[in-house]
Amino acid sequence: MGVGLLASLLLSPTFLRPLRAAEQLQVQLDGMSIPFQITDLVAWVRANGRSTSELAIWLNLLEPESREGVLALLKAPLINDRSMARQMLGSWAGRRLLDEVADIVRVDEDSQGITVLTTLEMLLERQEQVSSLDLLEALPAERVQLDLDALLQVASQWRQQLERQQQLVRRLSSESVEQAEERVSDVGTIDGGSALAAGQAPDPELQLLTVPHRSRPLRLQIWPASPGAPQRQSWLVWMPGLGGSPDHFRWLGRDLSARGWPVLVLEHPGSDADAVQALLDGRRSPPGAEVLPDRLRDLEAVLMARREGSLQLPGQQLVLGGHSLGALTALLAAGAQPQPGLQRRCAVALDGLPLGNLSRLLQCQVEDVRLPQLTPPRELVGVIGMNSFGSLLWPRDRPIDVAVPVLFTGGTLDLITPPQSEQLGLMLAVSPHPASRAVLVQGASHFSPVRVEGQAGGGRGEDLFQLGEELVGVQPLQVQALLEAEIISFLDQLEGPALPSAPPAESRVLHRRIGELHLHRLDRGGAARLLAQ
């Protein structure tokens, strides 16, 4: 049993993808160094599991299904897109991951992963696809050392993150819930889509804005307030996430404008959908935190154009919002500058593969980015962050000065920006404001707010970014209706005659079950109590 377990660990996707040894593999486990001949492993795979070597005898102890899975893994392409792989390997995040892999897998005395990288690049010069065996046989090394102790620690950290997510769900589920009708306020029905038909709101206006820091004009999607809708004091600027498009948030712009709030959605060149397509085509590296300065300048240019009158949008109050990196952009624009000590915090957070919170890679890259010093807009009255992140930029013990209320939204299936450390953590990191709140939806993921219009939906979510339920989460259209209702509630409060000046004596927490969805709205006290359990 122990031999089978070791073999299954050794040949799992997590271990094999960074490994690909050459002649000899030495496994460090519990203080012992166990040698394997890589030629025996290759022979076993080439013979489709029918080799008679000593290693083959051990491997054949695996269950048939596991053994077939190992064979398929080793034969399958490790890289099946040469152009995109080159761009990924050359990016900041790719290099950082290789650095972490080099602490676990060492080729001869190479401690920086250079041998693996150069071998991959050499193979990609010759062939479109690279399999695990291709890399195993091509590495110019005498031996490869695999520190299973370190790798098991990474796996343990990943399990702990998953367990924390599950514990959060259990704690939320244990709260008493308020039953609700099969309708989210008067915003949208739970069987999908908005109660406001698209015909009740005009199509967005598309406008180009010339800016000095871009070679081409910015493309703006503007949703004017619908005729006959209530006159609002606020207008919104919305910023998509990394690789996002304004079309992903037509559902939000359409329905808010139908209720009287003008909405401007920015398209950020270099970190939009075109940039992702360029990555897939192998024409550029993946965008990262280096795009933040230009994103902030995009926003500054829009606000200046509106003040000067070249953008005609009514409203005396500004609300900034966005999804993921767009939410981070909004927080930075609201005056939240990264706290000192980021390099030290990142050294701890990235000690091992950052699998439990992928946003940490972006946050740590901020250390190498020169952010412009911007003054928060004087007309700013609120910030909305969907699936926001920033726990390394703004740790809870060092609150950041954001003078306006903030609405954070997230989902319990979000493994890119986990709600415990990110949305709930940010709730405790920003300056206390009685109107701030965090909203979590059970079953929602990082991509639940993302929708592509114009495809057959029928309320079942087929028009959602084509990512699948594993990434999108459950009932995404209904999740969007819930989020829309919470955003409207937040905006209504900002429209009120006066915001509360002091926090309530007791924490205000709302737990609602609407159909099969559970929504949890927490103020600062509720978030602190939940994280303390």
SS3 169: helix
Beta-carbon contacts of 480 under 8 Å, excluding residues fewer than 6 positions away, are: 188, 251, 252, 448, 449, 451
pTM of the model: 0.75
Tens of pLDDT along 297-348? 999 999 999 999 999 899 999 999 999 999 999 999 999 999 999 999 988 8
Q: Which of 30-34, 289-293, 345-349 has the lowest mean pLDDT?
A: 30-34
| Mean pLDDT in residue range 237-252 | 93
In terms of Cα–Cα distance, which of 349, 383, 386, 378 is closest to 366?
349
Residue pair 373/303 in contact by the 8 Å Cβ criterion: no
DSSP string, 314-340: --SEEEEEEETHHHHHHHHHTT-PPPS
Estimate the share of the chain in helix, then strand, then coil, as percent rounded to the nearest 5: 40, 20, 40
For the chain, the domains span: 2-155, 175-532
DSSP letter (8 states) at residue 530: H
Higher-pLDDT residue of 350 and 233 is 233
- How many CB atoms are closer than 10 A to CB 456? 7
Tens of pLDDT along 172-207? 777 655 544 333 343 344 334 444 444 455 689 999
Tens of pLDDT along 351-385? 766 556 788 889 999 999 999 988 899 999 999 99
Beta-carbon contacts of 24 under 8 Å, excluding residues fewer than 6 positions away, are: 35, 36, 37, 38, 142, 143, 144
CA pseudo-torsion sign 157, 158, 164, 167: negative
Tens of pLDDT along 79-119? 555 555 555 555 555 666 656 555 666 677 666 667 777 77
Architecture of domain 175-532: 3-Layer(aba) Sandwich (3.40)
**Is residue 525 classed exposed, middle or buried when 0-12, 13-18 and 19+ CB atoms within 10 A define those classes?**
middle
Higher-pLDDT residue of 454 and 458 is 454
Higher-pLDDT residue of 150 and 527 is 527
Higher-pLDDT residue of 225 and 128 is 225
Q: CA 436 to CA 521: how far, in whole Å?
A: 10
Residue pair 253/204 in contact by the 8 Å Cβ criterion: yes
Looking at residue 28, its pLDDT comes to 61
Looking at residue 398, its pLDDT comes to 74
Looking at residue 191, its pLDDT comes to 39
